[in-house]
Amino acid sequence: MEVRICIDVDDLERGIAFYVDGLGLKMNRRLGSDWAELTGASSPIDLLVNPPDPQPVASSPRIRTYERHWTPVHVDFVVTDIDAVVARAIAAGAKLERPIQDRKWGRMANLADPFGHGLDLLEFQGRGYDAILQPEA
């Protein structure tokens, strides 16, 4: 099974600029004037232009908005130099929502992209998540 990540944006060029310049992804191809495929992560990321909508899903009273919003699904990007990536992401329009945190498994930064979507940057250190589950030998 292949996993593709789809991210709604209201401006394709601004979305490409953020995810390429800010996070280091690569523009792979355009699939129309409202769709771009980015690569450079373990799954392709599709940026899809969708305007703010009073009701994007008929069965839901919620609206699509590009202000900061919360959803139980978000994307984590594993990076090797979290300080540098945070700086690039902020320069490209992200907001750092809390200071970079040190964890047992490494470091984490919580950000919002320019479209209000939450995302995390993770920098694994040592044994990564295995540090949580297994004592050191």
Taking a C-beta distance cutoff of 8 angstroms, is the pair 5, 113 a contact? no
User: What tens digit of pLDDT does each residue of 17-37 get?
Assistant: 999 999 999 999 999 999 999
Domain residue spans of the chain: 5-51+68-133
The CATH code of domain 5-51+68-133 reads 3.10.180.10
Span 62-71, pLDDT tens digits: 778 888 888 8
Q: Which amino acid makes up residue 115?
A: F
Average pLDDT of span 4-23: 96
At 99, give phi and psi (nearest 5°): -60, 155
Question: Nearest 10 degrees: CA dihedral of 91, 115, 19, 124?
Answer: 80
- Please count the residues of the chain: 137
pLDDT at 137: 57
**pLDDT for 66-122, tens place per residue?**
888 888 889 999 999 999 999 999 999 999 999 999 999 999 999 999 999 999 999
Bigger pLDDT: 13 or 55? 13
